[in-house]
Amino acid sequence: MDRPASSQADRLLLDAKKAILQNQHQRFQDLQQEGRWDEAWKQLHITLACAADLLKDSVGLLEQVVHQKQAQASPLQDSASDSPETST
């Protein structure tokens, strides 16, 4: 039962990071619209760092899911290959 709780925690973390990214992007847009270009460029750097962090964590979570699915499928494949084949 650890996996579902871990999965929920991972989902919550990704949702929080997505909300932070959206907030940072909104700040960038606001600064841009106000013509505060120096601050906007600094904000863009922060926004891109948030996006990179979110993407990195998303890829990591996807890799975990793929490994879990492969591990679950592996015993099924092993038992199928161990069964004797009948030839006619």
Give the pLDDT confidence of 14-46 residue by residue, as tens digits.
Answer: 999 999 999 999 999 999 999 999 999 999 999
Residues with Cβ < 8 Å from 62, sequence gap 6 or more?
A: none
Q: Which residues contact 3 (CB under 8 A, 6 or more apart)?
A: 68
Is-contact 65 10, C-beta < 8 A? no
What pLDDT score was predicted for residue 6? 78
C-alpha span between 43 and 31 (Å, rounded): 8
> Per-residue DSSP letters for 64-84?
HHHHHHHHHHHHHHHHHHHSP
Tell me the pLDDT tens digit for each residue of 40-61: 999 999 999 999 999 999 999 9
The Cα–Cα gap between 14 and 6 comes to 12
**Amino acid of residue 73:** A
Please give the pLDDT value at position 36: 97
Confidence of residue 65 (pLDDT cuts 50, 70, 90): confident
